[in-house]
Chains A and B, each alone.
Chain A
Amino acid sequence: MAVDAARDGVRSRAPARERLRAGGRISRAARYLFFGAVLGYFCIPMAAVLIYSFATRWTANVLPDGYTLDWWQATVSNPRIQSAFSTSMALATLTAFIDIAVVVPAAYWSRVRNARIRHVIEVAAAVPFALPYVVIAFGLMQFSGVVAPQFQGTFVLLVAGHAAIAFPFVYWAVDGAMAAAGIERLSETAEACGASPMQIVRLVVIPNISSGLVTGGLLSFAASFGEFAMAQIIGRGLDTVPLWSAEMIRSYSDTAGSYNRLAVVTLLTFAVLFVLSAVVVYWNRGQTVRLLPGAGASDEGGRR
């Protein structure tokens, strides 16, 4: 299929030699078809959810029987949903700040001082990279049951768990930014000028890695905001947006409008994630690739 891929190309200007990406008329049509299908696959579900959130009743016809703004109004003013949103926001914000606070000093020190820190971090980062969050969450539940049972089911434990699974995002972003800024030289120069370590971090390191901080912070925020498995397993009794959604999707009673409200909440969640992604993409113009969960591992293969 890679062959077909090559045949479909972009914009041939009929040069002397056939270009690798050039294609004939048929392959161009095939390419448009392919991209159209992919676009549809990604956009139609969102459209369906959007229509659902405005629909009065939608079980028989191609389009809903009628449209209403009631679901939006009811959902936005529902105190339980409001509290779920504020819990999720607080959870995600704390996760992002804790991750930045613990990762930046460690990443900085691993670059200027003790390279062994890097090896330890990389081993640790492989855990949430490879292991399912269900497994980590379950292990954390068992471990906290042994060590600190009073924390089970609390917000604190969930924040710690989210900070632990989201830290690689921050680490990869921050470490990449440090490499790009050449932080070793900068801090050496600052030292030569007589700056204290705190001054170096505050005046030299942080201003130079701001893009990494923003990116890492937003990615860990997003990871925590949409996280479901860990919230369900160790956050019993809490009410986050994914937990609320799970309850709604399971209580199938369409007449009560739970699906319509779920549609509204799904769109709101999606809007949050969309804004975050947009900021990340804008901030790193064209370099989205480095930010992905695979980045640390694929850096070896992917950095050019």
Chain B
Amino acid sequence: MATLSRPYAKLGGLESAGGSASPSPIARMRGWLAAWLPAIPLLLLVSTCLIAPVLVLIWQSFTSMGETGLSLDLWFKVLGQHANQDAILTSLVLAASCATVTLIIGAPLSWMISRMLRGSRAFWLGLLNVAANFGGIGLAFAYMATIGSVGMLTLIVQGLGINFEAPREGSLPALLMAYEYTNVPLFVLLTIPAMAILRDDWWEAAQTAAATRLVFWRRIGGPILAPFLAAGWLLIFTWTLGIYGIAYGLAGQSGATAVHLITLQIGSALQSDVLLGPGRAAILAVVLMAFATTSLVLYRIILRRAMRWL
């Protein structure tokens, strides 16, 4: 509140409420309006298109099949189905392995780019920025054109006389490879600022104390960077859980033989099943929401701990 410019602060009903007489309702209303009016269009947009939809989904998942009153029937039914259990498990496994691979490739990449000279740094940041924005169906197609069954790399390797079979387009390894195309750049771009925290002086100081590189990374570098890397892992995990476009492009076409993912199940429940579809999709959406919220909360906690070093 210290930043309030004085003339406005005097007008505002909210901030200057400590007046002698309690203001009339109209004056109060005016004060409220003065405090919130410019934000109202945004708040309207956000409440109708983000908050309300989320609440409607949660509500719908508990009011099953047109019955009145709350019930968990549909929850048991949906979560009891093998395909849905499979989808939840596969999504979690895929997200966790994607995030781990991203961490293994992204952490060194991020560290090295953060220590580059300006020119090459700009080149890599630009490249990663473009790759991070590429996704969806286009990326699914690029994957198929590269190592699909008749993709370029597949043909090259086979042309060398090696008996090589590309992973099926709807399989987990294929999804993982395609997902990494956007995950690694996102991870690097998110963690690069944290890499600047580790100062070069500390390594010199550690050397003066006769520390080896290994000791330095285990005692100083690792512990300082770990929370940021963990936070990056969690974000990639969350985002991977929710990827739909790439999965639809790659796995969608093989139909029943493809992997089950939560997002794909939501999409197909909407398209196939008019009567039960929305309820079923709502439950899967709430499950997805629960995972995402949990990991976002964890992410915030971890980041707050990491802040100690700033």
Contact = CB atoms under 8 A, between A and B. Distances in A.
Nearest to A252: B253
Q: What are the 4 A-B residue pairs with the smallest beta carbon separation, nearest first?
A: A132-B242, A139-B53, A302-B193, A164-B49
Contacts of A250: 252-253
B39 A301 contact: no
B245 interface: yes
B296 A302 contact: no
A245 interface: yes
Interface string A263-304: 101100110011011101100001011001110011011111
Q: Chain B binding site: helix, strand, loop or mixed by DSSP?
A: helix
A60 B159 CA distance: 9
17 contacts: A38-B184, A42-B181, A45-B145, A46-B142, A48-B145, A109-B37, A124-B51, A132-B263, A136-B54, A138-B282, A141-B53, A160-B45, A242-B138, A266-B142, A270-B134, A289-B189, A302-B190
Nearest to B300: A297
A130 B293 contact: yes
Nearest to B306: A301
Contacts of B6: 188
A72 B140 CA distance: 20
Interface of A: 1-11, 17-21, 31, 34-35, 38-39, 41-42, 44-49, 51-52, 58-62, 98, 101-103, 105-106, 108-117, 120-121, 124, 126-136, 138-143, 146-147, 160-161, 163-165, 167, 184, 187-188, 191, 222, 226-229, 232-233, 242, 245-246, 249-250, 252, 254, 259, 262-263, 265-266, 269-270, 273-274, 276-278, 280-281, 286, 288-289, 292-294, 297-298, 300-304
B152 A51 contact: yes
Most chain-A Cβ atoms within 10 A of its Cβ — which of B3, B153, B222? B3
Interface stretch (B22-30, B65-73, B77-85, B100-108): B100-108
Nearest to B133: A273
A44 B131 CA distance: 12
Q: Interface range on chain B: under 10, 10 to 19, 20 to 34, or 35 or more?
A: 35 or more
Most chain-B Cβ atoms within 10 A of its Cβ — which of A135, A164, A188, A245? A135
Given A5-B107, A8-B112, A242 B270 contact: no
Contacts of A46: 142
A278 B153 contact: no
B167 to A, nearest CB: 15
Contacts, number: 363
Contacts of B118: 286
B82 to A, nearest CB: 22
Contact of B54 (A101, A139, A232): A139
A121 B36 CA distance: 12
Contacts of A101: 41
A285 B73 CA distance: 56
B310 interface: yes
Interface of B: 1, 3-9, 12, 14-15, 34-39, 41-43, 45-54, 56-57, 60, 104-105, 107-109, 111-112, 115-118, 121-122, 125-146, 150-153, 155-156, 159, 180-181, 184-186, 189-190, 192-194, 196-197, 200, 203-204, 207, 213-214, 216-217, 221-222, 225, 228, 231, 235, 238, 241-245, 248-249, 252-253, 263, 266-267, 270, 278, 281-282, 285, 288-289, 292-293, 295-296, 299-300, 303-304, 306-307, 310
